[in-house]
Amino acid sequence: MNEQSTPTSAERVEKLQGLGSSRKRVEDVRFTQGKGNYVDDIKLPGMLFGDFVRSPYGHARVKKIDAEAALAAPGVLAVITAEDLKPLNLHYMPTLAGDVQAVLADEKVLFQNQEVAFVVAEDRYAAADGVELVEVEYEGLPVVVDAFKAMDDDAPVLREDLEGKTEGAHGPRKHHNHIFHWEVGDQAGTEKALEEADVVVEELITYPRSHPSPIETCGCVASMDKVNGKLTIWGTFQAPHAVRTVASLITNIAEHNIRIVSPDIGGGFGNKVGVYPGYICAAVASIVTGQPVKWIEDKIENLTATAFARDYHMTGKIGATKDGRITALSCNVLADHGAFDACADPTKFPAGFFSICTGSYDIPIAYAGVDGVYTNKAPGGVAYRCSFRVTEAAYMIERMVDVLARKLDMDPAELRTKNLIKKEQFPYTSALGWEYDSGDYQTAMTKALETVGYTALREEQAANRKAFEAGETRSLMGIGVAFFTEIVGAGPVKNCDILGLGMFDSCEIRIHPTGSAIARLGTISQGQGHATTFAQILASEIGIPAEDITIEEGDTDTAPYGLGTYGSRSTPVAGAATAMAGRKIRAKAQMIAAYLLEVHDNDLEWDIDRFQVKGNPERSKTMKEIAFASYNQAIPGLEPGLEAVSYYDPPNMTYPYGAYICVLDVDVDTGVIDVRRFYALDDCGTRINPMIIEGQVHGGLTEALAISMGQEITYDETGNVHGGSLLDFFLPTAVETPVWETDHTETPSPHHPIGAKGVGESPNVGGVPAFSNAVNDAFAHFGLTHTGMPHDHWRVWKTAQGLGLTG
Amino acid sequence: MAKIHVKMTVNGREVEGLAEPRTLLIHFLREDLGITGPHIGCDTSHCGACTVDLDGKSVKSCTVFVGQAEGADVTTIEGIAAADGTLHPLQEAFREHHGLQCGFCTPGMITRAHRLLQENPNPSDAEIRMGISGNLCRCTGYQNIVKAIRVAADEINSAREAAE
């Protein structure tokens, strides 16, 4: 071999584009040319189109459905109602939370825009015409939209189908509109500690109802092949394998005769985890007509019928010593789940991982109790760019810590630093039972405060307050600090399942003879760049350049079983499976190399992309050479080929964390907020692709901006939904979005094969309280303890007016 | 419903078809012509995923009847690259600077940016942000999109100066 052409170790590592490389995304070649393949791009011969008749009422009896005029309209082929689904037992479907949800309204409707009938027509225009022509006679019923009134003795019975059922999926129901009570921690001990505390603060913190609102709405194409009896559904599924199993269980079609395919997905953010009536209706329509049926919801349907998020009313109570040591936390939550309990949580966690609400602090004793109630609102309760109910928990604790800081007249950053879990306490078991895997919180906090020049910012704020007093400015400066801990990567099968399906994930690798590879996973990308990053993990494990590795996900006929992508679980779970499968490949490769080099396999060592003889690195076999050998050598005791599969059951969750600081200016006369600076330090453990991490942080922060500054879906007293279109549901444009500053520390997870923790949802979890704390901080010196989200101009102006600051 | 006969030029190719007068341009492009680059994201003209270029202006093709495009010159994301397949500097820059994630808004975003750089070949960051404010993205937070457009503008301007 020509010595000059031998690449150095550094060059070989570089060529792999493995862990830590800001590799450019392979997905983008298609997407930048309009060659993505999203569900609405699918067009099959003879394909029909389905559209819903939806309820204008929030609560009403369905007296009569007359489809005659619709059926007479050109192009309309069928109108499906609950009556048609009943013989198939498909008028209700199981939800992910152990409840049932009406596929089509069964005698009554429970929220505005609920699905009442499904019109099947030759194209989307004819279907829309048909929808207009279906006559439905309703009889209005009293409406409950206020979660606090849902459990009044005289509150109307919403779920008549559950009448007399005193036991729900999560224990006893204490009222006809009650879903569950869930609690964790030492209630009596916490109350005692609160009584004994020097200082106690209590506040009702409401996290308003919002919606993930990806630009692409939900939809599917269902195609029943009557010749071979196979049902294929292409759709916007964040968990395709779970959808297949659920579809099999509810339709009684054998699971091998169902194929679920998630094509490219135009953003998910939790919206596309659940199973929606449209999927069932499209499948039924295809079975009935024998033709493929497409259903694509429009944006208004998306915002008002599929998968809201939040709607948590949290009463937090913190006790502390005079010098600011937190001694106890309790939190009681009223959770508004809407008309059906369709939360997407692991089965044993009806309030998700809300019990991460002790946050980043060493709190000796705590209690959390959550009561879920039914209201006449859309079902959902999904984790919108966060792990299950983690953003709610982080918002509560981070607001409460600020409230406590005011009470103690202490700087909020100082109070946080004083109570942070210390590096030497990891692995740390929280008062509510979570084992935090790793962290160095003090370092992150110090770095954040120093980078933004926190002391100088507080001095500037003091000057601003003086100037405001003196009438020299009408603008108030606010500084928001948040230190959050996420809990992601669900999860260990021993306590995490969805409908009985353990939340492991999987990777299957096949090395081709010429040394390239394909890997298939149980997850599905919705913008996270899996085709890029999973190939990087593998490149570092098996020494094949990332560009020579194809990543495939989302087709249940080819991919190994996994629970999908949400709750930042892809990297912690499927990423671990990828590394483990890679290690199996490497173990076999070592045997092959030993045979080829005629040495004992223990005499070999791995070096970047090859096995070499210990002490004699000149004698080596690259993975490429080994791959070819695996296909053409008869090696005693070894099967031909080079493939591996790994199903990874994580031993624990991962706990990404971060320190965020927001600086903004509030114009008290208009309520307009100018975000001057936003600094985000994230620690997501080992960093696979810094470019992609940074991009995810930018996106998550922008969603946090949207939530904290404007997003809200409300209902009026008659059950009309407000905020149900982009006319009034806030999605920030490039103009409202500030420039983000990102930073990091890197504390690997000790239990993850490559130490990665997941990052996509951290910026939402940390961003929301940072923004809200900054707005509250702007007014803090006027005695304001808490003003709730969203901090839109009107509310901010109202706050200023309430404090007597407006002109 | 009676149909109308429409003819237009799409990405340099003359096309024609029969469509109901109420047909929206986005549906004609996607369903009749199979041009699926432009997407449908909302029904209120807010998201801009359906943005195409119509006679030298960016339009949201979900708010244009197909009849209004009669005789027009329409460019979609599929028509942005050079005829020989060489990607446009915007397409390169979006990839190079991570200006996309799920890719759903990207065709509309690049098509809009393409027109923006003809309206204003050397925009400031603030002008870029204002210029793409009709196009929503939920993934990127816009920061890398703004960067990609600025880099592409610089590249286009340098190439133009070199040619002059």
CATH classification (class only), A3-36+505-648:
alpha beta
Report the Cα A742 to chain-centroid distance in Å. Answer: 21
Whether residues B77 and A33 touch (CB distance < 8 A) is answered with: yes
What is the Cα–Cα distance from A337 to A348, expressed in whole angstroms?
Answer: 17
* Minimum Cα–Cα distance from A302: chain B residue: B42
Q: How many residues comprise chain B? A: 164
Whether the pLDDT of residue A3 is over 90: the answer is no
Tell me which of A115, A586, A761, A795 is the catalytic residue: A761
Crossing angle for the helix pair A576-597 and A623-632, to the nearest 10 degrees = 70
The band of A567, judged by pLDDT with boundaries at 50, 70 and 90, is: confident
Q: What is the pLDDT of residue A7?
A: 92
Alpha helices, DSSP H, located in A507-610:
530-542, 576-597
Strand partners, A551: A519
Flag whether pLDDT at A516 surpasses 50. Answer: yes
Instruction: Give A 61-80 residues with CB within 8 A of chain B.
Output: 74
Q: Tell me the torsion sign for CA atoms A687, A691, A692, A696.
A: positive
Residue A48 forms contact with B (CB below 8 Å): no
The pLDDT, as a whole number, for residue A1 is 44
Q: How confident is the model at residue A4 (pLDDT cuts 50, 70, 90)?
A: low
Verify whether residue A238 is a known catalytic residue: yes
Encoded amino acid at A608, one letter: I
Q: Which of A17, A238, A536, A711 is catalytic?
A: A238
The domain A308-490+653-802: what is its CATH number? 3.30.365.10
Q: Is A761 a catalytic residue?
A: yes
Whole-Å CA distances, A142 to A110, A150, A372: 11, 12, 20
Amino acid at A765: V
CA distance A82 to A70: 17
Contact B133 A34 (CB under 8 A): no
Pull the structure tokens for residue A676. Answer: 């001057």
Q: Tell me, letter by letter, the H, E, C secondary structure of A620-670.
A: EEEHHHHHHHHHHCCCCCCCCCCEEEEEECCCCCECCEEEEEEEEEEECCC
Which helix (DSSP H) or strand (DSSP E) does residue A454 occupy?
helix A454-469
Per-residue pLDDT band for B43 (boundaries 50, 70, 90) equals confident
Q: Quick check: A490 and A569 in contact, CB under 8 A?
A: yes
Distance from CA of A236 to the nearest CA of B (A): 12
Give the pLDDT of residue B84.
95
CB-based contact, A215 to chain B, within 8 Å: yes
Question: Closest residue of B to A296, CA-based?
Answer: B40
In the predicted model, is pLDDT for residue A234 greater than 80?
Answer: yes
d(CA A717, CA A308): 19
Distance CA A427, CA A355 (A): 17
Mean per-residue pLDDT, A561-573: 92
Q: Does the pLDDT at position A553 exceed 60?
A: yes
Task: Quote the percentage of chain A above a pLDDT of 90.
Answer: 96
d(CA A40, CA A265): 10
Residue A157 has pLDDT above 60, yes or no: yes
C-beta separation of A136 from A62 below 8 A: yes
Would you call A31 and B106 a contact, using CB atoms and an 8 Å cutoff? yes
Nearest to A306 by CA among A276, A326, A281: A276
Q: Best residue in B45, B80, B102, B137 to probe A by mutation, most A CBs within 10 Å? A: B102
Kindly report the average pLDDT of chain B as a whole number.
97
Distance from CA of A409 to the nearest CA of B (A): 36
For chain B positions 16-55, those within 8 Å of chain A (CB to CB) are 20, 22-23, 27, 30-31, 34-44, 46-47, 49
A741 catalytic residue (yes or no): no
The Cα of B77 is separated from the nearest Cα of chain A by a number of Å equal to 6
Residues of B within 8 A of A43 (CB-CB) are 31, 34
CA distances from B25 to A748, B56, B110 (A): 51, 16, 19
Residue A216 contacts B where some CB pair is shorter than 8 Å:
yes
Interface contact flag, B34 A43, Cβ < 8 Å: yes
Provide the percentage of residues in chain A whose pLDDT is more than 70: 100
For B:133-162, CB contacts with A below 8 A are 133-146
Architecture of domain B4-79: Roll (3.10)
Cα of first residue to Cα of last residue in chain B, in angstroms, is 54
Q: How far B6 CA lies from chain A's nearest CA (Å)?
A: 18
Domain boundaries, chain A: 3-36+505-648, 39-141+218-296, 308-490+653-802
pLDDT recorded at residue A580? 98
Judged by a CB distance cut-off of 8 A, whether residue A737 touches chain B is yes
What is the residue-wise DSSP string for A293-332? EEEE--HHHHHHHS-EEEEEEEEEEEEE-TTS-EEEEEEE
Rounded Cα distance, A384 and A527, in Å:
15
CB atoms A34 and B107 under 8 Å: yes
Q: Alpha-carbon distance A791 to A707, whole Å?
A: 9
- Domain A39-141+218-296: top CATH class: alpha beta
Q: How far is B106 from chain A (nearest CA, A)?
A: 6
**Could you count the other beta carbons within 10 Å of the beta carbon of residue A690?**
14
A734 touches chain B (CB under 8 A): yes
Reported ipTM exceeds the 0.85 cut = yes
In this chain, the answer to whether the domains covering A39-141+218-296 and A308-490+653-802 adopt an identical fold is no
Beta-bridge partners for A647: A506
CB atoms closer than 10 angstroms to residue A249: 14
CA–CA gap between residue A404 and residue A199 (Å, rounded): 8
Chain-centre distance for alpha carbon A744:
22
To the nearest whole number, what is the mean pLDDT of chain A? 97
Give the domain ranges of chain B: 4-79, 89-163
| A380-382 vs A326-336, strand pairing mode | unpaired
Mutation site, B143, B147, B151, interface A, largest A CB count within 10 A:
B143
Is any Cβ of chain A less than 8 angstroms from the Cβ of B71? no
Q: What's the average model confidence in pLDDT over A228-256?
A: 95
Please compute the mean of the pLDDT values over residues A11-40 and round it to a whole number.
97
User: What does the pLDDT look like over B50-90, one tens digit per residue?
Assistant: 999 999 999 999 999 999 999 999 999 999 999 999 999 99
Radius of gyration of chain A (CA): 28
- Residue at A363: amino acid letter: I
CATH superfamily of B89-163: [2Fe-2S]-binding domain (1.10.150.120)
Q: Do B101 and A125 touch (CB under 8 A)?
A: no
- The single residue listed with the structure tokens 């204008």 is A56
In A487-528, the DSSP E strands lie at: 497-498, 501-502, 505-511, 517-521
pLDDT band at A2 (very low <50, low <70, confident <90, very high): very low
